Chains A and B, each alone.
Chain A
């Protein structure tokens, strides 16, 4: 079975600074997808960024980027130039070849003005 671990329940960052959220996963599969979802106070789950395991290049989406280390099974999210609107729960997720998703327990990020 796949597991996803987020070891940082809560984090904070000053506005305009950079923060990195950690995620590790466990799988025996070689082909899979990884995601970071954001859940603001509105409760809506919003996709932030995705990474395909067969791609070595780290995904980037504007201020969001990942550090994907396949051998270490690590998938961290870096948020640059943090904004107040980045305050949210962030969930790391793994999708296997059967299209089943597994989510981590989340990291609550607070951006401090």
Chain B
């Protein structure tokens, strides 16, 4: 089973609709992230969370909100979707420096392709 899962994998929606993308992880990591990927722009950080009570804005948070429901779950919402939010969205997790496991890389989910018409 995948360590980081995202649902849905693909979604087509209309302008103005509310959309929620979900991310779950079984790695036991404290830190979770949401990125969007656009052609030619690489990955841009939307929001990140270092624990259940911690939420931080990334580079491009406007138009998005997040919820950290539990250590293992981090959801991304588009309150009123617009066409320029069409992109590939990735969730990622990482361990905290205090965990003692000494791993600093990010582990990515499979991505959600979102199309806003």
Q: Which residues of A contact B (CB under 8 A)?
A: 4, 6, 9, 33, 35, 37, 42-45, 47, 50, 91, 93, 95, 99-106
Stretch of B17-25, B39-47, B61-69, B74-82 on the interface side:
B39-47
Closest to A44 in B: B110
Given A6, A9, A99, A105, which contacts B94 in the complex, CB threshold below 8 Å? Answer: A99
Max chain A Cβ within 10 angstroms of own Cβ: one of B92, B106, B111, B113:
B106
B88 at interface, CB cutoff 8 A: yes
Min CB gap A24→B, angstroms: 14
B97 at interface, CB cutoff 8 A: yes
Contact (A91, B105) CB under 8 Å given A43-B110, A43-B111, A99-B97: no
Establish whether residues A91 and B43, one from each chain, have CB atoms under 8 Å apart when the complex forms.
yes
Establish whether residues A105 and B41, one from each chain, have CB atoms under 8 Å apart when the complex forms.
yes
Given A33, A37, A44, A101, which contacts B33 in the complex, CB threshold below 8 Å? Answer: A101
Establish whether residues A105 and B42, one from each chain, have CB atoms under 8 Å apart when the complex forms.
yes
Residues of B within 8 A of A42 (CB): 110
Q: Is the interface of B mostly helix, strand, loop or mixed?
A: strand
Establish whether residues A99 and B31, one from each chain, have CB atoms under 8 Å apart when the complex forms.
yes
Residues of A within 8 A of B44 (CB): 103
Establish whether residues A103 and B50, one from each chain, have CB atoms under 8 Å apart when the complex forms.
no
Residues of A within 8 A of B45 (CB): 100-102
C-alpha spacing A44/B106, complex, angstroms: 12
Max chain A Cβ within 10 angstroms of own Cβ: one of B41, B43, B94:
B43
Closest to A50 in B: B105
List, sorted by A's number, 16 A–B pairs whose CB atoms are closer than 8 Å: A9-B40, A45-B90, A47-B105, A47-B106, A50-B105, A91-B43, A95-B104, A99-B94, A99-B97, A100-B48, A101-B33, A101-B45, A103-B44, A104-B42, A105-B40, A106-B42
Given B31, B41, B88, which contacts A43 in the complex, CB threshold below 8 Å? Answer: B88
Residues of A within 8 A of B35 (CB): 103
C-alpha spacing A41/B48, complex, angstroms: 26
Residues of B within 8 A of A35 (CB): 105
Min CB gap A99→B, angstroms: 6
C-alpha spacing A81/B19, complex, angstroms: 44
